[in-house]
Amino acid sequence: MTTPTRICFVCSGNICRSPMAEVITQSLLDDAGRTDVHVSSAGTGGWHEGQGANPPAVRALADAGYDGSAHVAHEFDPAWFDELDLVVALDRGHERALRSWARTAAERDRVVLLRSFDPAADGDEVADPYGGSAQVFADCLVEIEAACRGLVASLER
């Protein structure tokens, strides 16, 4: 596989998990001086289109030193497969939806689970924190951050 340069993180509504993954990954790439990788995020559904990230997600990011205040939610468009090198699903439901929208085997092969980049992960899904406590969002961020570190490290290989 060639080094991915265009990555899109996908969760349900693009207001919690995928924006956290996008912000964290962009920060890690910035810290590594990587300007050759473009990251974005989207939701499998468009019910939050145009909205900012969920306030508890923004707070969890801020508490960890990240800025998620500029996020704007988008719905994933299957035509984006033409432009993407890697489509990163946050759970199995997103992975199934994305693979069903892929038009070719090559597009299906670009869909991966985020936690597959974390060798210490205790599962393959990032649980949806929506409606949860600040601690639930903080725990979610820890899982996402560990996997994003692994993803960025994989880009170096």
Closest CA to 126 of 108, 110, 141: 141
Does residue 17 contact residue 56 with C-beta atoms inside 8 Å? no
The residue annotated as part of the active site, out of 11, 16, 140, 148, is 11
Which residue has 């299906």 as its token pair? 108
Alpha helices in the chain (DSSP H): 17-31, 55-63, 92-101, 105-109, 134-156
The residue annotated as part of the active site, out of 17, 91, 118, 140, is 17
* Per-residue tokens: 109: 């092969």
* Per-residue tokens: 90: 């946050």
Q: In the annotation, is 17 catalytic?
A: yes
Q: In the annotation, is 115 catalytic?
A: no
The residue annotated as part of the active site, out of 34, 85, 108, 128, is 128
**Angle at Cα 132 formed by Cα 126 and Cα 138, nearest 5°?**
60
Q: In the annotation, is 11 catalytic?
A: yes
Catalytic residues: 11, 17, 128
